[in-house]
Every structure is written in C-alpha cells, then in structure tokens.
Chain A
Amino acid sequence: MKNLPWTSLFIIITMLFMAVFAPVISPHSPIDQTLADKLIPPVWEEGGNAKYLLGTDVFGRDVLSRLFYGARVSMIVSALTLLVGGGVGLVIGIVSGYVGGRLDNLLMRIVDAALAFPAILFALLLAVTMGQGLRTIVIAISLLLWARFARVVRGEVLAVKQRDFVSLARVHGCSPVRIMVTHILPNVMNTFMVLLTLYVGVVIVAEASLSFLGAGIPPPTPSWGLMVAEGRGKVASAWWISLIPGIAITLVVLAFNLFGDWLRDRLDPKLRQL
C-alpha cells in the first residue's frame, strides 16, 4: 500500500464517521431552535461560547451539529444517486456495448442528448413539479450521472468484447445475458469503481448547489449547501454560518477527487481523460 493518499483517506474516513455517528457525537439537536443563543461566534472568536464550538446560526442552531448531520445527508444522497444513476449507466453501457448495432446507436444518441443538455435545469424543474425532497434530488442527480457512466462503460465493454474468453463463451453457446453477467460485468468493475469514486465529488457539489438554490433538501434538515445559503445574507456579521460548511464541502470533494485520481492511476489509467 505504497503512496496511499493518506490525507484524502483521513478526510474521507472522518466524514464517514461524522455521517454514521452524527446522533451520538452531536452536542445539540441540529434542528431545534434556541433563539436566545442565536448568532454566537465560534469558540475562538470574541464572544464565543464553549457550548457551541463552531458557533450558532440565525435560529440559534449549533453549526457543529448541523455539520455532522449535513455529512449524513451528503453521504445518503451520494450513495443513493451513485446506486441509481451509476447502476442504470452500468446496465445501459453493458447492453449497448455488448449488443451493438441499432440498439447501441439509439442508446448512444440518447446519451449524447442527455450530455448536451445541462442536468441542473431538469433538476430545478423536477423540484418545482414534484416538490423538494430526497426522492426528487436522487432522481435529478441520477439524470446527470447515468449518461456519463453509460458512455465510459460502453467504451470499456467494446474493448472487453474483443477478448478471447468472450468469443469462447459465445462459441460454447452461452446466452447473451449470461455472457454479460459472468464475463463482461466483472471486467468492467474496475472502471465502474473508479467512476464511482470520481463522481462522489460531483454528486456532493450537485446536491449542495441544488440545496443552495432552494431546489434540494428542504429545510430544516441540514445540508451543507443549504447551510451556506442560510448564512449568505449574514457574511458581514456572522461569516461562520456559510463559510464553515463551505470549507467542509471543498475539503471532502478535494479528498474524494484526489483519492479517485489515485485509484484511477492504479486500476484504470486509460480513464485519464475524465
């Protein structure tokens, strides 16, 4: 395990720890408002209070606790969207690449169209028509992901398809479905894993951006993007409300991107163009 990106791993593990143990380690409720304690600065600033290490927001909610629960939201959204969007992309990529011909042509045209149109606009539209919520946001971000996954996986399948064991399986009369599951799938798993890691950062930024724009996780559930939005009007007097969750987003996205780069170089250097 030489050259492991230790800093990135440390940040990722810390984030996972925060997400999993948020109820245990949070000193306060992330939602209950204590208006008497509103706008208290972090402990190291003048007027800080040891009760609220990172200060409180306009409603007197503890920023630290909201940060922990926000990690949870980011992780849940990431896991669900990568499962749905990545999974759909994986299946479509395998089928399109393996079956080929007209189906491939059609599917890739749809992928092109999906890539040509900014997914955020559909996400906003969904939020207005379906209403805000976890379901909407998972669908919206999955729409952004599937086409990217499908295109890369398909390219990989085209290469794997040429290899001897696939022809051999075909000669032996294996059904297409069986070949796709037992021969193609395991060989594109490396690529898929690299894609998953590289896109965690994209999903976190997308969720935060949507929440910031009022089309993501509805308040009062803490999401990092929402926290930045809530503190936006108060940067002059209470910088910590929006700058602290922003730092968290950047650090975590940076960690996942660097870790993804490392994983890609180890498992699948061909993907460097991504």
Chain B
Amino acid sequence: MRRYILRRFLQGLVLLVLVATIVFFLGRLTGNPADLMLPEDALEEDRVALIETLGLDGPLHKQFGIFLANALRGDLGDSIRHREPAVDVFFSRLPNTLKIVPGTMALALILAIPLGILSALYRGRMIDRVSGAIGVLGIATPNFWLGILLIYVFSVQLGWLPSARMGGPQHYILPTITLGTFLVAGFMRLIRSSMLEVLDSEFVKLARIKGLSETIVVWKHCLRNALIPVLSLWGVLMGGLVTGAIVTETVFAWPGIGRLTYEAVIFRDYPLLQAVIIMDAVLIVIINLVVDILYAYVDPRIRLAE
C-alpha cells in the first residue's frame, strides 16, 4: 500500500514536471516569450528588464532552470490584464469554482449510481431505455450549447431562473444542470456496463447460491466491484470535468478558474494561462492521488499488493 501510493505520488510529480516542461517550451516556440508575457503597449525598457530577470538571453537550459526555480517558489509571472501575480489571481478565483464543481460532482454521482444500477438490473426494460436515452443525449449535447439552451428556456422564455453570475441559491441551478448532465450521462453508462459485467460473474452466482437476498447481492457484492472501473477511469473523466467547468463557467459568467482560463485565452494573457494550467495540473495531481487512495480502499488486490 505504501509503495503503491509512493509510486502514484511519483507519477504525479512526473506529470507536473512534464506539464511545466511543455508549457515552458511552447512559450519559446514562437520567438521570445517576453513578447507573450508583456502587454502590447509595454515599454522597451520593461521588455529588457523582463528578459534580464528571466535570463531570456541566456542558454535554454539556464532559462528552464530559472523557470522551474521560480515555479517552485510559487512565482509563475504576472498577469498582463490583472497586473498582479498570476498565482494570486488563480487563488482569488478558486473558491468560486469550489462552490460549484464538487457539489455538482457529488450530485451527479448520487444520481448516476442508482440509475446505472437500476438500468443494469432491469436491462431492456422501461427504466433502462429512459436512462439510456438520457445518457446518449447527455453525451451528444456539448455543455456550452446545453447551457445556452437552458438560459433560453428558463431565463428568457419562462423567466424563472437567473441567467448569469453568482448570487442566491437559484443562481446555482442552471450551471449545476449544465455541468452535471454530461457527468451523469458518463457515470451512468460506465456504471451500467460494469454492473452488467459484475452481475454476470461467478461470485454473484455464488452469493445467490448462498441464499442471500437480492438487496445484499446488489448493494454489497456488486456495487463495490462495479465502482472499480469507474475509479480506474477517473483520469479520463477528469478531462471532461475540466472542459465542462471551463465551458459552464464561461456560459454563466461564473467568476471561477474555468472562466479565468477563458479570459486568459480571449485576452491572450499568456502568463496567466500558463499559471492556470500549471495550477490546474497541481490540483489534478492532488485529486488523482485522493482517488488512487480510494481505489486502493475499494480494491484489496491493490491495497495488499506487495
């Protein structure tokens, strides 16, 4: 177990270094990164000063060294638009994202787990068809468009819910549905297919031979096994979650890190984008580590592996 977590931790570190390296070299792809890092109306003396502090006139490996050393100290440059350290901007926006993403995620799981299980148990029946249709539609509807559709129906036509920005509880409804639909659809399909596989297994047959009730067979013997593939595919789901958060926050003008990412792209604020990506990577590595520990808790074959 300790070795497993250590290995996962090291893999996370490798990923961080990889991301930092790519960010660094992409910045150098199109000439002097100082041009990407400064506002267009910057003075020539500012430019020279920046080149000097970042060692941009030195050899590449030296520049990379300075970049990494700065990053480790938490200095990822200054945002062009906000005129303050990019990392500070990131942390000022992070709480707003934390107000919406984890809750949506939990809600999605609370909905998707029973739906996935029920569709597997009643395969081909009404509930399976309905949730199957929701799943297929949820995957095919890009969330930026779903968000706009919801705004059109519930804010413009019906006037029930606010269309943008943060505020009271009713401000959370549309963004949650927008971000959650895709997650529910994805989780549900995954749980359904792994549940079907588990239901077909020999150990479930043996549990029934023992005379256990269906409730125990399903919720004790099947569920934990069915969650294993969900946890092992977590990394792939994270990609969808990040994309979803960027798009949803953009559509609803929600001032979190997703919206910040969009603004960095739109305003070509390269230092900010660079900082957001590296900080995202840090967050992802931390979350993945938590999931890996959860994974080991669920699957003793991992927990007890030597």
Contact = CB atoms under 8 A, between A and B. Distances in A.
Interface of A: 109, 112-113, 115-122, 124-131, 144, 201, 205, 208-209, 212-215, 225, 228-229, 231-232, 235-236, 239, 242-243, 246, 249-250, 253-254, 257-258, 272-273
B142 A208 contact: yes
B145 A116 contact: no
Contact of B156 (A130, A201, A215, A239): A239
Given A120-B239, A120-B243, A246-B148, A254 B136 contact: yes
Interface of B: 11, 14-15, 18-19, 22-23, 26-27, 29-30, 36, 136-137, 139-142, 144-145, 148-149, 151-152, 156, 193-194, 229, 235-236, 238-239, 242-243, 246-247, 250-251, 261-262, 264-266, 268, 270, 273-274, 276-277, 280-281, 284, 288
Contacts of B139: 201, 253, 257
B238 A250 contact: no
A128 B140 contact: no
Most buried by B among A144, A214, A246, A249: A246
Contact of A119 (B29, B239, B268): B239
B142 A213 contact: no
A213 B250 contact: yes
B40 to A, nearest CB: 14
A121 B27 contact: no
Contacts of A201: 139-140
Task: Classify the secondary structure of A's interface with B.
Answer: helix
B262 A246 contact: no
Contact of A113 (B15, B136, B265): B15
Contacts of A130: 26, 29-30
A249 B238 CA distance: 23
B268 A249 contact: no
Contact of B11 (A112, A243, A250, A253): A112
Most buried by B among A213, A214, A215: A213
The 8 A-B residue pairs whose C-beta atoms are closest, nearest first, are A246-B145, A118-B242, A254-B140, A118-B239, A253-B140, A116-B235, A120-B243, A205-B142
B277 A125 contact: yes
A215 B265 contact: yes
A118 B280 contact: yes
Given A212-B144, A246-B149, 14 more contacts: A115-B239, A117-B18, A118-B239, A129-B29, A130-B26, A205-B142, A209-B142, A231-B148, A235-B152, A249-B145, A250-B137, A250-B145, A253-B141, A257-B139
29 contacts: A112-B11, A115-B239, A116-B238, A116-B288, A117-B19, A120-B242, A120-B243, A121-B242, A121-B277, A122-B277, A125-B273, A128-B36, A144-B239, A201-B139, A201-B140, A209-B243, A212-B250, A213-B246, A214-B262, A214-B265, A235-B148, A235-B151, A243-B149, A246-B142, A250-B137, A250-B142, A250-B145, A254-B140, A258-B136
